[in-house]
Chain A
Amino acid sequence: MSKMQDTWLILGASSSIGRSFASEVAKKGARILLAGRDKDDLERTAHDIEIRYGVPVRVILFDAQDFEKHDLFIQVVEEFMVGRLNVFACFAVMPPQDQMNHDFEAIQQTVNVNYLGIVSLYTKLTPIFEQQDGGSIVTLSSVAGDRGRKKNFIYGSTKAALNTYLSGLRARLHEFGTHVMTIKPGFMDTAMSWGHPGMFLVASPEEAATAFVKAIKKGKDVMYFPFFWWGIMTIIKSIPERIFKKMSI
């Protein structure tokens, strides 16, 4: 983040990660646009950030699945942004795999939110990045996208698609100086993971936000968080398929 005035658009700002990230960049003086579905809650976060860090904050309603409204959404973003735009997307849904083994509606929702929602929005945001000098597009993906596991493969496949998309977008926007960063978090202490069995070494949203901002400064392309997940996923990816198919992880 340079001295230039930055605006950060936080997509999925009601989540603890979204809130922590918004606070972290607000500390450094950025203008904040909080986007999500729960307006009352976003207003609460907006006041909190304004009072604590003294930066202007706006709330914009946003529904990833409501593709038709994305044009209008971008218009509002353009109206409120000052200086350079940056994006942090941290929304996703994760219905239980048991449910998605038979419930097409849940599958569709997962694909729509986790993959299409982002692609639709980023496609419409691209012209802004083509015209401005630099800026970051930071997306929270998941280690679940690295390999299709029996326990979580619909969700995982949306994240795999997202990772491939972001890799392409990174190449496409490279010439414009846009920094596209993919974050692959392991376990984080969020509402999504609360009460899930088998969690270990969970990172707090505050620790995560600090690490993300540091990685953005360094211009990282893909980031595992916490870092040791890179090792875990390297091992998991190297297991031959004929063995992996027998594993119930």
Chain B
Amino acid sequence: MKWKNIAYTSWGATTETEVQAGRPERVRDVINYVEQSAKLETHLLAIGACKSYGDACLNEDANVLLMERMNRILDFDPRSGEITCEPGVTFNELFELFLDKNWMPPVTPGTGYATIGGAVTNDVHGKNHDRDGSFGDHIKWIELVNSKGEIMRVSARKHNDLFRATIAGLGLTGVITAVNFQMKEAPTNAVLVRYKRMNNIKDYIDRLIKARGQYEFSVGWIDMTAKGKNLGRGILEEANFADTNIEYKRLEPKKIPKIIPGFAINRLTTKIFNNRYYHRIPEKGLDKFVPLQKFLYPLDNWKNWNRLYGKKGFYQMQCVLPDKTAELSITRILGACHTAKISSPLAVIKTMGSEGAGRLSFPMKGVTLALDFPNTSRTLNVIRNIHEIVATHGGRIYLAKDNVLDTATFRKMYPNYRDFMNTKDSYDIINLFSSSLSRRIEL
């Protein structure tokens, strides 16, 4: 099997990385590539759609496997909704194939372009976390090729340690070649969304926690430019399945040109945009039927929307904080952004229901906040400040979006890291599987 020199970025596009890439088309190719890399003593990482924001999908000066051609559906039971597929299958494909049979992925991240392999290795969550948990909670078994080139099938019953290390394992335990999981029933292809204005952070978090699990899906947007008594105001979206189907055909996404200057998103444009976005929803709220995919993937209408941030790219920070400390710590995070005069047009808040199944799973019972930051000279400092606040208040940073966390803070946030490392060491003795992220936080 041959390698090809390629350069690519993650979704945040702050750094371009050069690697040697293999592109397996079948399990045999994966084994071959793994054996070659082991012999060459180069690090290896399987990557999917590269929609993670930070360096989880990067492997500087090493080898990667592009899993895009391992994208077959291997089994599907239309009665039970149990499915087996290869890791390169995307969420969009699952919707296109199964929504009209009333099945959808159990949990989906905010883009339909993400792959199932990435969903496993980042244990992704969605707008239904309170009710349905994260992706790993729905997996029955995973087939992977370990660093010796052996095919293993792991589950809660067989090699449970490796199973729990592979869920949210950042691709560090092996190359996934098949995943079996349970799909979710989708009675219709649409949701009835209830849009409500939230006046400030206290009301927002009270409402989120009070309404936890009452709706099938829920997600909120925060106007990061609002200050004082309006601090933390925003629009909450709560949704249940509609009673009937609505007409929907997914359109080809529009492309954003490369020439957008980096200053297109600044504090002024954000303020104008946010103000309009907030006042779009009347004070008494608004109910609207929305196609399911449009509701789940609002940004997928624009391919490469990451280009809006210009050539220097952007950072995203997502944290989760326990219910008890959420209001205080989120107020402090918003305050830190104001002090640094940095704002984020994309600020998302949701509740989370429980811990994930993986050793390095991000979720915990609490409130999660995700913020995009344009890449400016002040950005890294703000993010480090936020990490400090999150760590102090018993929270966690989502590794799939991170570019900045240091080893000590990571260990504080993820106390199970030692279990993870023990498992990795015992199955991947030669430390073949590695990424820019894992080397940064010494995993």
Contact = CB atoms under 8 A, between A and B. Distances in A.
Interface of A: 14-16, 19, 38, 40-41, 44-45, 47-48, 51-52, 191, 194-196
B97 A41 contact: no
B23 A191 contact: yes
Given A44-B72, A44-B86, A52 B25 contact: no
Nearest to B2: A195
Contact of B75 (A47, A52, A191, A196): A47
Contacts of A196: 2
Given A48-B74, A51-B73, A41 B4 contact: no
25 contacts: A14-B25, A14-B26, A15-B25, A16-B25, A38-B28, A40-B27, A41-B27, A41-B28, A44-B27, A44-B72, A44-B74, A44-B86, A45-B72, A47-B73, A48-B72, A48-B74, A51-B75, A51-B76, A191-B23, A191-B29, A194-B4, A194-B22, A195-B2, A195-B4, A196-B2
Given A41-B26, A41-B27, A52-B97, A194 B2 contact: yes
A51 B73 CA distance: 7
B1 interface: yes
9 residue pairs, one from A and one from B, having the closest CB atoms? A195-B2, A48-B72, A195-B4, A41-B26, A51-B73, A51-B76, A48-B73, A47-B74, A44-B72
Contacts of A48: 72-74
Contacts, number: 43
Interface of B: 1-4, 22-23, 25-29, 69, 72-76, 86, 97
Contacts of B97: 51-52
Contacts of B72: 44-45, 47-48
A16 B74 contact: no
Nearest to B70: A44
A52 B94 CA distance: 10
**Taking each of B3, B73, B86, which has the highest tally of chain A beta carbons within 10 Å of its own beta carbon?**
B73
Nearest to A193: B2
Nearest to A49: B72
Contact of B69 (A16, A38, A52): A16
Contacts of A15: 25
Nearest to B66: A194
Nearest to A196: B2
B83 to A, nearest CB: 9
A16 B76 CA distance: 22
Give the interface centre of B26, B29, B69, B97 by most chain A CB atoms within 10 Å. Answer: B26
B1 A191 contact: yes
Given A52-B73, A194-B2, 6 more contacts: A38-B26, A48-B72, A51-B76, A191-B1, A191-B23, A194-B22
